[in-house]
Amino acid sequence: MANSKYEYVRAFEESDVLLPSTWIVIRIDGRGFHKLSAKYEFEKPNDKRALNLMNAAAEGVMKELPDLVLAYGVSDEFSFIFHKDCTLFERRESKLVTTVVSTFTSYYVYLWPSYFENKPLFPPLPSFDGRAVLYPIDRILRDYVSWRQVDCHINNLYNTTFWALVQKGNMNGTDAEKELMGTVSSDKNEILFSRFGINYNNEPEIFKKGSVLYRDYANTIATSSSFTTLTTEPNLPKAEETPASAPESSEMPIPDEPPAPKSKTQAAKEQKLRKRARIAIEHVDIIRDEFWMQRPWILS
């Protein structure tokens, strides 16, 4: 567009380029979902349809943004992780956050009727907020996802016990809350088991562990001949090639020279592979090393 005398207003825009070579976590959270879950009569404490809808919306986001390496969701929140070397939108924070939030929201609303057939949406419509947080090393990024999964466990144990007292113990909310005040995990497990015959360990994994989404190259069906050659690229190891101990990039020796940037063709090949990969949705422990050791490509 031609210059105009109004162009100068552009200079008022602030730069919000995120630090390079740093993991970008974008966490989104449903606005007022306590109310929304009552409005559409979500089952308490965990409505499976609502969780599956969150996961389906997150899968849509992963598909549309190949730079995402992992997503973790629980309740009305999802954390999306962009690779530390991602250059999407020149790493501009507002572009990354708003694109993730709006893509997620679009899918959530678009897919709603498939999960809540007889409960059509009407205003006020679901919306989500979002923020970006940077994590400089793999260890801290893993601590971030561990933090979310521990939070999932603590909240779920509390909610499961609270709703058992209300739904099965005929207590009102205030009394149930009082009953649980000052209790530790073992007390809640004991209440569930002795009063209601519920073994918390047998609760569905999706409730206890939340949902993790990642690109599953090993189980992606080859759709073209180039796929087989591409999977041998060193940056995207197959599951079978898992080394006994995956080196953490933060512990790598400091090279004398900065690493050579990837060639354009190499980057394009990898991007194509990411786009084509199947998105796995699992409800597993992501705190212990096992998950990461078995899927070394996620953080590579």
Binding residue positions for GTP: 29-34, 75-76
| 115 lies in the site for ligand ATP, by CB under 6 A | no
| 78 lies in the site for ligand ATP, by CB under 6 A | no
Q: Cβ distance 211 to 55 under 8 Å? A: yes
> Could you say which of ligand ATP, Mg ion, none residue 211 binds, taking C-beta under 5 to 8 angstroms by partner kind?
none
Stretch binding Mg ion (CB under 5 A), from 17-25, 29-37, 166-174, 208-216 = 29-37
Interface with ligand ATP (CB under 6 A), residue from 76, 82, 191, 273: 76
| 31 lies in the site for ligand ATP, by CB under 6 A | yes
> Which alpha helices (H) appear in the chain, and where do they start and end?
33-39, 48-64, 93-115, 138-167, 173-180, 185-196, 205-209, 225-230, 264-276, 289-294
Nearer to Mg ion, 73 or 237 (CB): 73
Please enumerate in sequence order all residues whose Cβ is within 8 A of that of 18, keeping only pairs 6 or more positions apart, or say none. 24, 91, 92, 93, 96, 132, 134
Residue 289 DSSP SS3: helix
Q: What string of DSSP letters covers 203-265?
A: S-HHHHH-EEEEEESTTPPP-SHHHHHHTT-TTS--GGG--SSPPPGGGSPPPSSPPPPPPHH
Nearer to Mg ion, 75 or 161 (CB): 75
| 29 lies in the site for Mg ion, by CB under 5 A | yes
Query: What is the distance of C-alpha 272 from the center of its chain?
Result: 22
Q: What string of DSSP letters covers 162-174?
A: HHHHHHTS---HH
Write down the least CB distance from residue 42 to ligand ATP, Å: 4
| 37 lies in the site for ligand ATP, by CB under 6 A | yes
| 131 lies in the site for ligand ATP, by CB under 6 A | no
DSSP 8-state secondary structure symbol assigned to residue 7? G
Q: Cβ distance 107 to 61 under 8 Å? A: yes
| 76 lies in the site for Mg ion, by CB under 5 A | yes
Interface with ligand ATP (CB under 6 A), residue from 47, 85, 179, 282: 47
Write down the least CB distance from residue 168 to ligand ATP, Å: 17
Spatial strand order in the sheet of 278-282: 128-135, 23-30, 77-82, 68-74, 211-216, 278-282
| 45 lies in the site for Mg ion, by CB under 5 A | no
| 51 lies in the site for ligand ATP, by CB under 6 A | yes
Stretch binding ligand ATP (CB under 6 A), from 36-44, 174-182, 213-221, 249-257 = 36-44
How far is it, in rounded angstroms, from Cα 61 to Cα 18?
A: 20
> Could you say which of ligand ATP, Mg ion, none residue 173 binds, taking C-beta under 5 to 8 angstroms by partner kind?
none
Stretch binding ligand ATP (CB under 6 A), from 1-9, 46-54, 222-230, 244-252 = 46-54
DSSP 8-state secondary structure symbol assigned to residue 126? P
| 104 lies in the site for Mg ion, by CB under 5 A | no
Stretch binding ligand ATP (CB under 6 A), from 24-32, 168-176, 193-201, 216-224 = 24-32
Encoding tokens for residue 58? 């997150």
| 42 lies in the site for ligand ATP, by CB under 6 A | yes
Q: Cβ distance 212 to 80 under 8 Å? A: no
| 34 lies in the site for ligand ATP, by CB under 6 A | yes
| 46 lies in the site for ligand ATP, by CB under 6 A | yes
Q: Which residues in this chain contact ligand ATP in the complex, by CB under 6 A?
A: 29-34, 37, 42, 44, 46-47, 50-51, 75-76
